[in-house]
Amino acid sequence: MIIIIFVLVLWYGGLFFQSFFLHRYAAHQVFTMSKTMERITFILTWFFQGSSYLSAYGYGVMHRMHHAYTDTEKDPHSPSYDDNLFAMMWKTKTIYQDINEQNIAVDAKFTKNVPQWKSFDAFASSRFSRLLWITFYIAFFAYFTTALWQWALLPIALLMAPIHGVIINWFGHIYGYVNYKMTNTSKNLFHFDFLMMGEGYHNNHHKHASSANFGVKWHEVDVTYLIIRVLDFLGFIKLKAVAIKK
């Protein structure tokens, strides 16, 4: 039971910071926050993503490119141009690393105002940091596992962020329903997104990329957006007016 709770905390904790910080803040900037709050969020993202930590800069730039080039040869991740999900994941990893390490030239429109904390990213993305988290996860499983099948959850804990990414970037362009007919293959995975905290409303998001709320219909509850509204009310962040409108 402890192992299941642990994996669920990693799943939804890592997913929240990927959606809240990397996606809606770094890539789309639907709200603002103070520099102190931004640094705290960097650290919390590292804490919950652990061994699969993603840089806000690398993610933010790559995601902007995805919106600009959706389902074309320039798309960093598209089922239309990759033979299988593993090929897409490897391609995504390579492009992400090249962007994050600034090994390739990127149009300024994709990098504008994307948050970057180079010294922290260098540590959080380092082999040392990832090995520390891997060691911790294995030790935790070794101590708390009560049944052999629970070890099957360890790879999920280790590769949480890539798994979240592939659910949306692969399956979210193949399966599901659409509210909007578009020139790309984006789809809504769930009528109620219990699994991805709102990220599963991918078709809605491609239609309204500047909106903080990915849900459109009454049943499309965006849990991440609800948390964002609470954080905005409490003054931790400031939602942009345009991000609230549809």
pLDDT tens string 109-126: 999 999 999 999 999 999
31 DSSP β-pair partners: 239
The residue that leads in pLDDT, 33 or 82, is: 33
132 within domain boundaries: yes
> Could you give the CA distance from residue 130 to residue 13 in angstroms, rounded to a whole number?
17
Does the structure show a pLDDT above 70 at 158?
Answer: yes
> Could you give the CA distance from residue 242 to residue 246 in angstroms, rounded to a whole number?
8
Residues 6 or more apart from 97 whose CB is under 8 A from it?
Answer: 58, 103
106 within domain boundaries: no
The predicted pLDDT at position 104 comes to: 87
pTM of the model: 0.95
Q: Which of 103-107, 151-155, 193-197, 198-202 has the lowest mean pLDDT?
A: 103-107
The 3-state DSSP class for residue 158 equals helix
The predicted pLDDT at position 95 comes to: 94
Does the structure show a pLDDT above 90 at 143?
Answer: yes
> Could you give the CA distance from residue 164 to residue 184 in angstroms, rounded to a whole number?
20
The predicted pLDDT at position 206 comes to: 97
Do residues 20 and 228 lie in contact, with contact meaning Cβ atoms separated by under 8 Å? yes
The predicted pLDDT at position 246 comes to: 56
Cα 77 to the center of its chain, rounded Å: 13
225 within domain boundaries: yes
Average pLDDT of the chain is: 95
List pLDDT tens digits, range 5-21. 999 999 999 999 999 99
Residues 6 or more apart from 146 whose CB is under 8 A from it?
Answer: 1, 2, 3
The predicted pLDDT at position 92 comes to: 94
Stated as kind and residue range, the H or E segment containing 31 is strand 31-32
The predicted pLDDT at position 245 comes to: 62
47 within domain boundaries: yes
Does the structure show a pLDDT above 80 at 157?
Answer: yes
108 within domain boundaries: no
235 within domain boundaries: yes
> Could you give the CA distance from residue 242 to residue 32 in angstroms, rounded to a whole number?
12
> Could you give the CA distance from residue 228 to residue 208 in angstroms, rounded to a whole number?
17
Residues 6 or more apart from 227 whose CB is under 8 A from it?
Answer: 16, 20
List pLDDT tens digits, range 18-74. 999 999 999 999 999 999 999 999 999 999 999 999 999 999 999 999 999 999 999
109 within domain boundaries: no
Into how many domains does the chain fold?
1
Q: Average the pLDDT over 208-229 and give the result.
A: 97
238 within domain boundaries: yes
Do residues 137 and 157 lie in contact, with contact meaning Cβ atoms separated by under 8 Å? yes
- For 225, the domain range is 2-101+114-244
Q: Average the pLDDT over 173-177 and give the result.
A: 96
Q: Average the pLDDT over 169-184 and give the result.
A: 96
Do residues 131 and 53 lie in contact, with contact meaning Cβ atoms separated by under 8 Å? no
